[in-house]
Amino acid sequence: MQNVVFKKQIKGDIITLKLVYFTHLKITRRIAMNNTFFCARENGKLHRPRTILTGFGFMASSIAWAIYDPYITKILEKLLNASETVTQWSAKLNEMFPVLAKFAESQGENVVTEAGGITLVPLFIGIIMTFDNIFGVIFQPTFGKLSDRCHSKLGKRRPFIVFGAPVSAFLFAVIPWVALNGSLPITMLFIILFVFSMSLWRAPVVALMPALTPPALRSEGNAIINLMGGIGSAIGMVAGTVVGAIYTGITGVKITTENEQVAFPYVFLTGAIVMIIGMLVILFFVKEPSSKLEAVAAQNKAADAAARAQAEKEAKKAAKDAQKAQKLSKSERTSLIFMLGGLFFLFCGTNAITTFFALFAAEVLGKTTSEATIMTTLFAVCSAVAAIPAGYMGKKIGRKKTILIGLAAFMGAFLLYIATKSEAIIWVVLILGGFANMFITVNTLPLVLDIGGIDRVGTFTGYYYTATFSAQIASPIIYGVVRMLSGTYMSLFIYSPIMFILSMLCIFFVKHGEAVPENIVKAAKEANED
């Protein structure tokens, strides 16, 4: 009798275990289906049309910064030059340090204020232009981590994009209207609000493609994303010229260096409209897996109070174990530090150019802001053309080698101009620099992300932007001082190559995060077959 009862009990336990197993299997399969890579085809190749769709968010972000850097510097230059406080502070500085004033004036450039000598305007422009990067360093990692932990029907990244982009677009469109009233404090308020709103969705929009793409395809995917970013930058750069031509056609007023700011509000409005379009594409056409299912499965696992308490205890232990398992090795940490250092110096060099190029073009070349942005459009077009080849090269010969080649070309282009000081050569520099920039940009982020692994895409995206934003905080201030003392924006072409050399030295020591070159994979397969 006891044996019969015992057998029935065992049979019942087996049935229960089977039910639990198949229920778990069903949930697991649903989760697996839910987490299918959106940007990958079933044959393991990149799904290019879908990757392009994910790039619309990056395009929206890129157009904002393509307009922001050259136009905000011109807005700030006008407001700061009109500020009595800045003029008085410049006068006091010249009184305290007459040697610096004489040195600046000896450079042969007109950098004098009403009081004579050094002007603090370039330094203040540099300080103000760091605000977006300061907010990036403070908030970017935070919002990157929050997107990793987000559970919603829209997915992990899209909620931040859908909310942040419209707010940014509104604030972006308002800035030039406020500036036209001549109020520096109110203009500064809207600039601060804008750069904060951009921090809300900047890391999530960059993390969207890697999160939806297998690691092996990320360099190729990043190439397409940067192509979309290049398109956004190009739109932002030509917007001033197009808007200026339309404004002249409607009003009959020709845009010159003296009155160009009357067209600025319409340039910023163009950027705001593209930002909204990019957000709508992400919302309606990009399918990010819902992570809510995982959270529901975890909740169902702890149905009653006792089980829930035990589950929480086990979850905490599992989280600690997973965290320990995910810790980087000493060699990986060293690679990460050197890679972030290389990014820091790289962006120190490039940020100085993007921030001050419009002022360089006005001072040295006599160009309007729209003419300066047309010049940088060539840079953006060359970057866009180089995006796909750069991704292919990163896959073929390795990301590190591709980055170093790009840095060497970048440095050579800048030194070519400083050696000739020819306006004709600047066009050659923009072409070479555009190609070199994309060789670097396409491969740096995937290299950083692959050091961290797929489970920490948002976190390591945050690290990436911490390094780049730190550089963009330091560089405008450092170069603002260099410009103030040198008295000329020609110093850009000495400052930046020095930064590129330091970046190359750091990247030489990076040993991890490298995608396995295609030729090595092929050779390994052939050896295995033999």
Residue scoring higher pLDDT (2 or 411): 411
Could you tell me the pLDDT band of residue 27, with boundaries at 50, 70 and 90? very low
Q: What is the pLDDT of residue 169?
A: 95
Could you tell me the pLDDT band of residue 291, with boundaries at 50, 70 and 90? low
The answer to whether residue 75 sits within a structural domain is: yes
> Quick check: 313 pLDDT over 70?
no
Could you tell me the pLDDT band of residue 22, with boundaries at 50, 70 and 90? very low
Q: Tell me: the pLDDT tens digits for 184-202? A: 889 999 999 999 999 888 8
The answer to whether residue 500 sits within a structural domain is: yes
The answer to whether residue 304 sits within a structural domain is: no
Average pLDDT over residues 136-144: 78
> Quick check: 325 pLDDT over 90?
no
> Quick check: 517 pLDDT over 60?
no
Residue (of 150, 408, 420) closest to 294 by Cα position: 150
Are 446 and 218 within 8 A, CB to CB? yes
Q: What is the pLDDT of residue 134?
A: 82
Residue (of 366, 488, 382) closest to 441 by Cα position: 382
> Quick check: 26 pLDDT over 50?
no
Q: Tell me: the pLDDT tens digits for 231-247? A: 888 888 888 888 888 88
Q: Residue 83 belongs to what domain range?
A: 45-291+328-520
> Quick check: 521 pLDDT over 50?
no
- Mean per-residue pLDDT of the chain: 76
Could you tell me the pLDDT band of residue 327, with boundaries at 50, 70 and 90? low
Give the range among 277-286, 320-329, 384-393, 398-407 with minimum mean pLDDT.
Answer: 320-329
> Quick check: 472 pLDDT over 70?
yes
> Quick check: 524 pLDDT over 50?
no
Give the range among 4-8, 36-40, 151-155, 416-420 with minimum mean pLDDT.
Answer: 4-8
Tell me the β-bridge partners of 315.
none
DSSP class of 226: H
The answer to whether residue 32 sits within a structural domain is: no
Residue scoring higher pLDDT (176 or 92): 176
Q: Tell me: the pLDDT tens digits for 76-105? A: 988 888 888 888 887 787 777 776 666 656
The answer to whether residue 28 sits within a structural domain is: no
> Quick check: 11 pLDDT over 60?
no
Q: Any idea which residue has 């090795």 for tokens?
A: 329
Q: What is the pLDDT of residue 105?
A: 61
Q: What is the pLDDT of residue 331?
A: 74
The answer to whether residue 321 sits within a structural domain is: no
Q: What is the C-alpha separation between 134 and 137, in angstroms, rounded? A: 5
Average pLDDT over residues 489-517: 79
Q: What is the pLDDT of residue 83?
A: 84
Q: What is the pLDDT of residue 299?
A: 52
Domain CATH for 241: 1.20.1250.20
Could you tell me the pLDDT band of residue 507, with boundaries at 50, 70 and 90? confident
Q: What is the pLDDT of residue 323?
A: 47
Using CA atoms, how far residue 136 sits from 17, 115, 139, 231, in Å, is 50, 37, 5, 23
> Quick check: 525 pLDDT over 60?
no
The answer to whether residue 2 sits within a structural domain is: no
Are 386 and 480 within 8 A, CB to CB? no
Could you tell me the pLDDT band of residue 112, with boundaries at 50, 70 and 90? very low
> Quick check: 172 pLDDT over 50?
yes
Residue (of 171, 161, 120) closest to 480 by Cα position: 120
Domains in the chain, number: 1
The answer to whether residue 319 sits within a structural domain is: no
Q: In sequence order, which residues have a C-beta less than 8 Å from that of residue 173 and are 6 or more positions away?
A: 265, 268, 269, 271, 272
Residue scoring higher pLDDT (495 or 396): 495
Residue (of 137, 60, 208) closest to 462 by Cα position: 137
Q: Any idea which residue has 């297998």 for tokens?
A: 214
Q: Return the HEC string of 333-346.
A: HHHHHHHHHHHHHH
Q: What is the pLDDT of residue 258?
A: 77
Q: What is the pLDDT of residue 29?
A: 41
Could you tell me the pLDDT band of residue 515, with boundaries at 50, 70 and 90? low
Helix, strand or coil, per DSSP, at residue 233: helix
Give the range among 309-313, 323-327, 363-367 with minimum mean pLDDT.
Answer: 323-327
Q: What is the C-alpha separation between 158 and 175, in angstroms, rounded? A: 26
> Quick check: 173 pLDDT over 90?
yes
> Quick check: 175 pLDDT over 60?
yes
Average pLDDT over residues 489-505: 86
Q: What is the pLDDT of residue 322?
A: 47
Q: Tell me: the pLDDT tens digits for 328-372? A: 677 777 878 888 888 888 888 888 887 888 888 887 887 888 888
> Quick check: 318 pLDDT over 80?
no
The count of residues in the chain is: 530
> Quick check: 62 pLDDT over 70?
yes
Continuous H helices in 453-491: 457-486
